[in-house]
Amino acid sequence: MRIDKDLVAASASPLVLAILCEGETYGYALLQRVREVSGGDMEWADGMLYPLLHRLERQRWVTADWRTPPGGRRRKYYAITPEGRAALAEQRRQWGAVVRALEGVWPSLPSAALPAPGGA
């Protein structure tokens, strides 16, 4: 299943922030984690992650640091800030509200709009 790109764009920032809550990381590893948690459903052009990270940095939700781990290559590591955690909590509340609203109307749909058994 391919997820619509507007939906991907809307969920990108909470997804990235949530992954950063697990600990600081760099762009490539972050994308691997996105693939892992979405089961490959969310298709990102890899490069788009970085402007997003830079926006989060400007909003002071994440901090960035160039570091060279022992035996590794120089990479830019991103970590979430307290403001970022607060923003994530807020976004989580909003997404919760959206999901609840959708779940409130799904049962009233005619059966044609229901997913076919076994997936599309």
Closest approach of other proteins to the CB of residue 93, in Å: 24
Is 2 an interacting residue with respect to other proteins (CB under 8 A)?
Answer: no
Interface pick for other proteins out of 5, 41, 60, 94 (rule CB under 8 A): 60
Question: Amino acid identity of 80?
Answer: I
Is 45 an interacting residue with respect to other proteins (CB under 8 A)?
Answer: yes
Rounded to whole angstroms, the Cα distance separating 96 from 73 reads 39
Rounded to whole angstroms, the Cα distance separating 64 from 91 reads 22
Is 41 an interacting residue with respect to other proteins (CB under 8 A)?
Answer: no
Cβ partners under 8 Å of residue 64, min gap 6 = 53, 57, 76, 77, 78
Give 22 or 43: the residue with its C-beta nearer to other proteins: 43
Give 58 or 100: the residue with its C-beta nearer to other proteins: 58
